[in-house]
Structure 1
Amino acid sequence: MSESDPIGDEGRWSEIVARNISNEVQVTGYTGDGDSRSHAGVRKESEHTILHFKDIRHLRNSLKRAVYAANFSSNMFKGSSNANLKNRFALSIKQRCIAELKMALTFYNGDLNKIKPSRPKVADAIVACFGGYCGEP
């Protein structure tokens, strides 16, 4: 890399690294921040499908942004501090989802084939808890 090369071209640098290690390592999965082009660079250099995973820090921030940007009914957050309530709600959803994911990773010993089918139940449980039914079957 020359001193004048831009460091922000994550896709290019990931492609170069993938090419340099391809004789020793077969990359099957890539964990990145999800909003960069680094995965595209690795995928471009590979002859097979590369799974793309988000690291937990970026996943939880993306989740918070998505919840905060969602359109809720006008009476969901009442009062003069509705922006604050919406932010607190987004933070709570983020924390609950990440806690559930970490627990599932531990419970199922990282087996994604077992984790994936249980995830829709998590959303139902979180909604029920916000409705006052925490711990109810």
Structure 2
Amino acid sequence: MSKSDPIGDEDRWSEIVARNISNEVQVTCYTGDGDSRSHAGVSKASEHTILHFKDIRHLGNSLKRAVYAANFSSNMFKGSSNANLKNRFALSIKHRCITELKMAHKSYNGDLNKIKQCMPKVADAIVVCFGGRVLW
């Protein structure tokens, strides 16, 4: 890489690195920040499908932004500080989902098939929790 090369070309640099290590390491999964093209470069360098995962911090931030941008009913957040309440709600959803995901990884020893099966139930439980009901 020369001094004049753009550092933002993550696709290209990831492909180069993946090709350089391909004799020693077979990449099957790639965890990235979700807002870059680096996973595309790793995929180009491979002859097989590469699973792409977001790291938990970026996944949580994407979730928080989605919740904050969602259209809620006008009476969902009452009072003069409704933007603050909406932000706190989005943060709470983010933290609850990340905690549940971490606990699922621990409970199912990282078995992604089992984790994928249980996570939709977690979303339902969080909605019920915010509604004021207790499931246990």
TM over 0.5, shorter chain: yes
Give the superposition deviation at 1:25: 1.2
2-side partners of 1:120 and 1:32: how far apart? 23
Give the superposition deviation at 1:2: 0.7
Give the superposition deviation at 1:14: 0.1
User: Could you report, residue by residue, the CA deviation over 1:90-136 in whole angstroms, capped at 9, with x for unpaired residues?
Assistant: 000000000000000000011111111111110111011111113x2
2-side partners of 1:80 and 1:88: how far apart? 14
Give the superposition deviation at 1:12: 0.6
2-side partners of 1:35 and 1:48: how far apart? 23
5 Å-filtered alignment, 1:1-137, equals 1-134=1-134, 136-137=135-136
RMSD between superposed Cα atoms in Å:
0.8
TM (norm. structure 1) is 0.96
AA in 1 matched with 2:91:
L
1-side partners of 2:73 and 2:123: how far apart? 18
Give the number of aligned pairs.
Answer: 136
2-side partners of 1:95 and 1:3: how far apart? 40
Runs of 4+ deviating beyond 2 Å: none
AA in 1 matched with 2:18:
A
AA in 2 matched with 1:56:
I
AA in 2 matched with 1:8:
G
Unmatched 5+ stretches in structure 1: none
AA in 2 matched with 1:12:
R
Unmatched 5+ stretches in structure 2: none
1-side partners of 2:115 and 2:15: how far apart? 31
State the identity as a percent.
86
